[in-house]
A and B are shown apart, each in its own frame.
Chain A
Amino acid sequence: MAMSFSSLRLLGYRINVVAILASLFILFWAAMALFGTSFAPHSPGKVVDFDYYGPISAEFPLGTDYLGRDILSRILMGASYTVGISLAAVCLACASGVALGMAAAVTGGWIDVVLSRFLDALSSIPSKLFGLVMVAAIGSSTPVLILVLAVIYTPGSYRFARALAVNINTMDFVAVARARGEGTFYLITQEILPNIAGPVLADMGLRFVFIVLLLSGLSFLGLGVQPPYADWGSLVKENIGALAFGAPAVIAPCIAIASLTISVNLLIDNLPTKIRDRSA
């Protein structure tokens, strides 16, 4: 009972206030990722202020950057890169990880051994280093970033899904289906997937956070989204000089990253147990 927030009921689920606040933040960023550029007060690439690292003003609500461009407009543009690339990568990572994990759990034997060892080896490579090497070797573009991020986060998703699926796999209803002669595809999609979907979705949210942070890190190092486009990580990098001036140019994109990742984290932590952990 460490955190007993007042909770309200919605569609039969008990949802607490933190979860609602967090999902409002997430919805906001999702909307900005989709339509953000049309709300932008200025063109994100245009130099609109003669001063650089300008302060907060009515014209530039979040100040201006090192070239005198509007930060708010640039953050709105960055949202679609940060959220879009991360979302695509997490979907790819979880889809492949979960599919492989369930297949390994159901078939067992040498397929399981080979897959597990291979993916363990992959996950033993430091993720940022792997990202750096891959991007440096192939060159940075949106598809390459998505793929690299997906490959880095597949092994974790595989391990998670496999651990869950192994438990379900020992249930008698799976044994009954197997005794009936059902194929692997049926076992995976009809018997196992529905029973692990809740925890897998929660894990996907967490993995999304990791990917946002890694992508921002890569961009900060100059290997992520390339100019003239920018995601939030690149915005921090571009305006790192603003630290000395205490200008909002560097703080605003940091707050954007933090608000998105923390919201997703809080939402997952406060999901109704019914969804997060069905076995409970």
Chain B
Amino acid sequence: MANLVEIRDLKVRAQSDSGRLIEIIRGVSFEAAEGEVVALIGESGSGKSTIALTLMGHTRAGCEIIGGQVRLAGRDLVAMSEAERRRLRGTDVAYVPQSAAAAFNPAQRLIDQVVEVSRIHGLMPRQAARARAVELFRALALPEPETIGERYPHQVSGGQLQRLAAAMALIGAPRLMIFDEPTTALDVTTQIEVLRAFKQVMKQGGMAGLYVSHDLAVVAQVADRIVVLKDGAVQETGTTDDIINRPQHPYTKELIAAFRPVSHATVASPAAAAEAPILEVRNLVAGYGRPGPDGMPRVRALDDVSCRLERGRNLGVIGESGSGKSTLARAIAGLLPPVSGEVLLGGQALAPDVARRAKEDLRRMQICFQLADTALNPLRSVSDIIGRPLTFFHGQRGRAREARVEELLEMVRLPRAMKHRLPLELSGGQKQRVNLARALAANPEIVLCDEITSALDTVVAAAILELLDELQRELDLSYVFISHDLSTVQAICDEVMVMYGGRTVETLQASALPEGATQDYSRLLFASVPQLDTGWLDGLPERLPGT
């Protein structure tokens, strides 16, 4: 039987900003049969999205296919004219983007955008297309399928929008669907619904799929076969079961190993427990917007949150987007002065506003942000970035400062020569290490880590967690670790606080996770985390606890 998709020795070349030509896809070959879902998995920069786009006959600006074939149902997309390709798009092959929010026009009704493909290709009359769209909405388990199309993009949730994007792709009844990280931007509890809907629709329609993702656990739920990519080349291809359970290639093994949860051993000495907690938060209320007549801000992002952190221990804060976990970090750091409640550092109450805090108190507590891209000033060298807190807190200058910068770079396992570089010239993991080094330069006792591993690839993130662990032993640090990812929190924390809607749901011992959860919401959250097990999604009960 001929395969629906056949990619043979595909080579794509890109031009970098400085004008250099780089081969980003280096001879990739794989195929997908009719009705088969193949996953492309790899880290950022592995070329997985580029390959997916070539199946639409499209390359990003600056890229160019320089060799090989991309055959869809026997026809080579590379050799085709642009007009021929355009005829295929939407009817033979369709695309579901990562960010549906950016893919919809905010000024048009959803239904008009969903049926657009059928209008462009003249597939069916308008009424028929609308009826078909409603059918798809129902199949994708969208609420109120009859009327949801009349809404505008901002009137539906992120998960619903992602399913609407799938409906948009499905309307032309394509033979191949390309999913480009469709659930990466979603919360875990939402991700489940979306994955379920996708899987069901694909099965019913009997169409083939190409699923691009960096998340092995998600891929394990939907794909029949997995292609593992690294640096634009295929490392390993196999059935999902083989790749997950019997990986052959060292790189695949590394990917799988990074996924296995690591448990954390407490560093704190028993004596520390007797002291006052190093950080305590009491009944914190904070929010955004002008205060109303009751003195409360218009949007309350934190509502009566309390927590404590013992010296040498780590507190994890976990929750979905909008749960107030990042606001908590900002309130503790004094960047968002709380309306009421207090933050105590070593038993001493801190001023709510950072401007009124003593320099010494500021030194003891440092904050690290999620996106190292925006956390480092793009126009300062690494040496300036790390050196500034040295001058600011410790008055170090000149050679002493340089020497200390080198020490700090070594501490975060970066070569000394890196101090002359600009942030642009560093990789994501390296930037996050510089980010950490800057926090360490102050000699802090507490480091507030706000999603610092979320934007990193699994293997890189695992290395950063390991580094945090080692640093804690060496420097007697305590971390407040904010994340949406349960396994990350488990790997580094002693205690985990679950947040929802600005409130604390419960605080649990990390060792007791996830079984120790007593509240419905925490159970739902923990049960929603995809497992590296092909049967996990199908094995879940139809209604999760707490929904």
Residue positions of A touching B, CB distance < 8 A: 12, 171-173, 175-182, 190-191, 194-195, 278
Contact = CB atoms under 8 A, between A and B. Distances in A.
Interface residues of B, number: 28
Given A171-B374, A173-B377, A175-B369, A181 B442 contact: no
A176 B367 contact: yes
Nearest to B389: A180
B376 interface: yes
Interface of A is mostly: helix
Interface string B324-353: 000000100111000000000000000000
Interface in B83-112: none
Contact of B354 (A172, A181, A195, A278): A181
B438 interface: yes
B150 to A, nearest CB: 35
Nearest to A274: B17
Given A172-B369, A172-B371, A179 B377 contact: no
A180 B389 CA distance: 8
Interface of B: 18, 330, 333-335, 354-355, 357, 359, 362, 366-367, 369-371, 374-380, 388-389, 392-393, 438, 442
Given A172-B371, A175-B369, A180 B392 contact: yes
Nearest to B439: A176
A14 to B, nearest CB: 8
5 contacts: A173-B376, A175-B330, A179-B334, A195-B379, A278-B378
Contact of B375 (A176, A178, A190): A176
A3 B375 CA distance: 37
Contact of A194 (B355, B379, B388, B389): B379
Nearest to B365: A179
Contacts of B379: 194-195
Nearest to B369: A172
A182 B389 CA distance: 10
Contacts of B438: 176
Given A172-B371, A175-B369, A181 B377 contact: no
Contacts of A190: 380
B374 A173 contact: yes
Contacts of B376: 173
Q: Top 9 nearest A-B pairs by Cβ distance?
A: A172-B369, A172-B375, A194-B379, A181-B362, A172-B374, A173-B377, A179-B333, A171-B374, A179-B367
Contacts of A12: 18
Contacts of B371: 172
Contacts of B354: 178-179, 181
Contacts of B369: 172, 175-176
Contacts of A173: 374-377
Contacts of A172: 369-371, 374-375
Given A172-B369, A172-B374, A182 B392 contact: yes
A178 B375 CA distance: 12
A12 B354 CA distance: 42
